[in-house]
Structure 1
Amino acid sequence: MSGVGPVEPGEGTRAWDTDEPGAPPPPRRSRERLALWYSLHRRAALTTATAAVLLAGGGYLYATRPQEPPPPAAPYPAQVVDVTYLEQVATPMGVRPRTFSFAVVLSVASGPPVTVTRIAQPYAGVSVTSAPQAPFPTKAGSSRKIVVTMRVTDCGKTPKSAGLPFLDVTLRNSRAIQVQSYILGARYAQDLSEALQVACSNDTG
C-alpha cells in the first residue's frame, strides 16, 4: 500500500534554515531580546500618546476648574435701615395753619447707600413734607436727621387720637425698592395726637 506521510516544510522555508541540513534553530536568547525590544518600544509609544492627550486636553481641564463663588448680594434696604423718633419740633413762623413738625433719625447699618424716595403717613386728611426733601441718600454706617412736617387738610379724615401711628418710608438701594412702615413708639403717638387735636381745634382754615 502506498501512503502519504506528514507534509514537511520545504527547504529554506524556516527562519532558521541554513545551507547545511540539520542546522540547529537560532538560540532562545535572541527571541527573548526581540520580545524585550518590542515591550520597551510599546511602553514608550503609550507614554508619548498619553502625554499628547493630556496636553491637548489641558485647555478643557483648565476651563472646567471650579470658579470662585460670586460676592454676596447687597441686603434689602429694609433690612439695614432704622427710623427712630426724636421729638416734636417748633413750627417755624409763617407756615400755613394746622401744621406741625417732628424730628426722626434714619440710620443705615451696612450695604450700599440707601435713598429715601418718599415719606408718607396713613391718614387721608394729613399731608407730609420733609427736610431734606426726598429723594435723598444716606451712606452705610451713618445717620441723618429728618424733620417731618405734617399739615391737616381735612379734620374729618383725621383720628381724634392716634393709637399706633406709623410712617411709610420708601427706600431704594442697588438691590431693591421697598416701602417700609415704621411704628415710632408711644411718645410719638402721644405727641401726634396732641398736635392733631390742636390743629383741628383751630377755626382758621
Structure 2
Amino acid sequence: MSGVGPVEPGEGTRAWDVPEADLTPVPEPPRGRFTRAHARHRRAVLAVAAAAVVVLAGGGYLYATRPKPEPGPEAPYPSQAVGVRYLGPAPRSAGGPRGSFGFVVELSVLDGPTITVPRMTQPYAGLSVRTDPRTPFRIGTDEPRKIVITMRVTECGKVPESAGLPFLDVTLRNTRAIETHSFILGERYAQDLSDALQVACSNDSTSSPNA
C-alpha cells in the first residue's frame, strides 16, 4: 500500500531553525555630543515653560483678587448745580416787534459736569419767549453764560397788570438727570417785568398789542 506521509517543514520555517545571530537585538547607536546637548536644551525649555505657566497662573489669581476701586462721587442733580442771576433789562433793538422787550440773566454751573438747557419758558399764557443763544445750549463750569430772554405780548388779557412773583421755568439736563425747575429772580425782575407789560398793553389792556 502506498501513501503520502506528513509533510516535513522546510528549512528555516521553525524558530529553532533560525541562526542564533539573527535573534540578537540591534544595539542602540551611541549618543553623540550633539544628541546630549539637544536633550539638555529640551529639558531647559520645558523648565522655562513650566515656570511661565506658574507665573501666569499666579498673575491671574492676583488680578482676580485685587481690591475693587471705590466708585467716584455721583453728579449732583442739575437743579442743585445751576445758579441763575438776574442782570437787568436788555437794550431795546430798533425796529423790534411791537409789544416785545427783553431781560438778561446769567446762568452758571456751580458743581459737577456740563449742563444742557433744552428749554426756557415763563408761566403767562399771553407771553411768548425766545432766548439768545437759542435753546438748546450748554453751560460749563469754566465761566458763567449770559442769556438774553426776549418776551413778546401776544394777548394782553392773559398777562397780569402787575407781576407779583414771576419766575422762569428752565429745563436742565446733565449726566445724572433731566429736570424742569422754576427759578424766582427776585423783586427787581418782578418790577421790571410789570413795567414792561404796562407799556406793551398801555393802549388797551384787553386787546392784542398787534391790533
SS state at 2:79 partner: helix
| More off after superposition, 154-163 vs 133-142 | 133-142
Q: Which letter maps to 1:155?
A: C
Partner of 2:81: 80
SS state at 2:112 partner: coil
Give the Cα–Cα distance (whole angstroms) in 2 for the partners of residues 160 and 184 of structure 1.
18
Moved segments of 4+, more than 2 Å: 56-66
Q: Which letter maps to 1:176?
A: A
Q: Is the 8 A contact 1:103 1:146 kept in 2?
A: yes
The total of aligned residue pairs comes to 151
Partner of 1:179: 180
Partner of 1:4: none
Q: Which letter maps to 2:103?
A: F
Q: CA deviation at 1:68?
A: 1.5
2:190 corresponds to 1:198:
no
SS state at 2:144 partner: strand
Q: Is the 8 A contact 1:98 1:202 kept in 2?
A: no
Give the Cα–Cα distance (whole angstroms) in 2 for the partners of residues 202 and 143 of structure 1.
39
Partner of 1:140: 141
Give the Cα–Cα distance (whole angstroms) in 2 for the partners of residues 117 and 62 of structure 1.
44
SS state at 1:85 partner: strand
Give the Cα–Cα distance (whole angstroms) in 1 for the partners of residues 199 and 108 of structure 2.
31
Give the Cα–Cα distance (whole angstroms) in 1 for the partners of residues 196 and 158 of structure 2.
15
Partner of 1:99: 100
2:147 corresponds to 1:149:
no
Partner of 2:91: 90
Alignment of 1:15-34 (within 5 A): none
TM-score normalised by length of structure 2: 0.66
Q: CA deviation at 1:63?
A: 2.9
Unmatched 5+ residue regions in structure 1?
1-55
